[in-house]
Amino acid sequence: MDIHNFKKTILREYDIRGIIDEDLNSIDALYLGKAFATLLKKQKFKNVVVGYDGRISSINFEKELVKGLSSKGINVYKIGLVPTPLLYFTMYSKKYDSGIMITGSHNPSNYNGFKMLLKNKSIVGKDILDLARISSKGIFVNDKKAKIKKILIKNKYLSFLKNSSNIKKNIKVAWDPGNGSSGEVVSKLIKKIKGKHFIINGKIDGNFPSHHPDPTVPKNLKQLINLVKKKKMRFRFCL
């Protein structure tokens, strides 16, 4: 029988998240895809958009997740390596039924996870446990081949951000993507909007060589604070 048990430690209140190859691996990604597809099918939904962050494990997780989703008849639209807000933007602007972002959020580099959305709400709490139950009991919908398609939407997202910006021409702004998945978007955005911009740690690197990825911890802001002081800036963003 086709079943898989997720470790309880990865079933969090707001997402599925764990330590790579300790309590979370690519098999989990495959069966999450199958379970999520089953959930969608039972509610008459047909598609999902999938994105991933810059962590080393994310590409393989995406491969297995997409395999699981598409094997159960759910059309998958892949947007590649993107920051999480771009997944939300894609889902709502393109009116897709659901979305899954593969991301470890602001956890250390050896973590990864999955944030899931269905229409206008996040998959949390009981719904996450239901996905685990579907997998552990093997109550998946029947196999059915589906479409897998890559879509390009970063330029549309950049245009949206540019049009939403109200930064004045003479303002200095410091940016620190922290080697995270927003690095590419920020690097392109600052060339399109007003102001004088300075960016550090813009290169995407899943090992986070510059500092821990959590911007809520003061010591992780040290580089950004030093840049702000040096350039005498008024605004700073740590992403």
- In whole angstroms, what is the distance from residue 130 CA to residue 46 CA? 19
- In whole angstroms, what is the distance from residue 77 CA to residue 95 CA? 12
Residue 164 annotated among the catalytic residues of the structure: no
Which distant-in-sequence residues (6+ apart) come within 8 Å of 190 by Cβ? 173, 175, 197, 199
Amino acid (1-letter code) at residue 167: I
Q: What is the DSSP letter of 171?
A: -
Task: Please pick, among 26, 57, 98, 105, the residue that the annotation labels catalytic.
Answer: 105
Token pair in block for residue 183: 């690095």
- In whole angstroms, what is the distance from residue 32 CA to residue 66 CA? 10
If you search the block for the tokens 């060589």, which residue do you land on? 209
Is residue 169 within 8 Å of residue 191, measured between CB atoms? no
Q: Where are the beta strands (DSSP E) in the chain?
A: 16-19, 47-52, 75-81, 98-102, 111-118, 121-122, 148-150, 172-176, 196-199, 235-238
Which residues have a catalytic role annotated?
Answer: 105
